[in-house]
Amino acid sequence: MAGVRLDGADVVVDALFGTGLSRAPEGKFAAWIEAINAAKSQVIAIDVPSGLDGDTGVAYAPCVRANMTVTLGLAKPGLLKGDGPANAGDLWLADIGVPFEAYAAVGVEVPRGMFAKSDAIQLAQSNR
């Protein structure tokens, strides 16, 4: 893990990969994930924890074990099944301003009042 220094960090934000990951992280990416997991910091993942397949919920080795995941727009299926809940921690959905018409254009029905009271909605709470 040479070059990765997380000692002293209160919070680590994980945003290494997007939602399209479909294989185990390798090389420096694997080393960064291992460093994140070894740190004594709170970990917040953006969209999905790095190393987690956002569609299937398969956690490749290594996979970030987040205390909280803030997923954007809509919850990714893999956060709610398989290894997803164990790696995502507390799960929050954040509004990123996608118009309801854009969701409808791809066949996704989203309640119009979903973000009426807040820009973020807690979807699940971790058992950790």
Q: Tally the domains of the chain.
A: 1
Is residue 41 domain-resident? Answer: yes
Is residue 78 domain-resident? Answer: yes
Strands 68-72 and 11-14: unpaired
Rounded CA separation 1/101 (Å)? 46
20: tokens are 């399209």
Rounded CA separation 21/48 (Å)? 10
Is residue 5 domain-resident? Answer: no
Report DSSP state, residue 67. S
Q: How far is CA 56 from CA 19, 89, 98, in A?
A: 11, 17, 24
Is residue 77 domain-resident? Answer: yes
Helical segments of 39-107, H only: 84-88, 100-105
User: Per-residue pLDDT averaged across 89-113, rounded?
Assistant: 92
* Amino acid 1: pLDDT: 45
Is residue 6 domain-resident? Answer: no
Is residue 1 domain-resident? Answer: no
Q: What is the pLDDT of residues 15-74, one digit of tens each?
A: 999 788 999 999 999 999 999 999 989 999 999 999 999 999 999 999 999 999 999 999
Residue 74, domain extent: 11-124
| CATH code at position 40 | 3.40.50.10260
The whole model's pTM is what?
A: 0.90
Is residue 91 domain-resident? Answer: yes
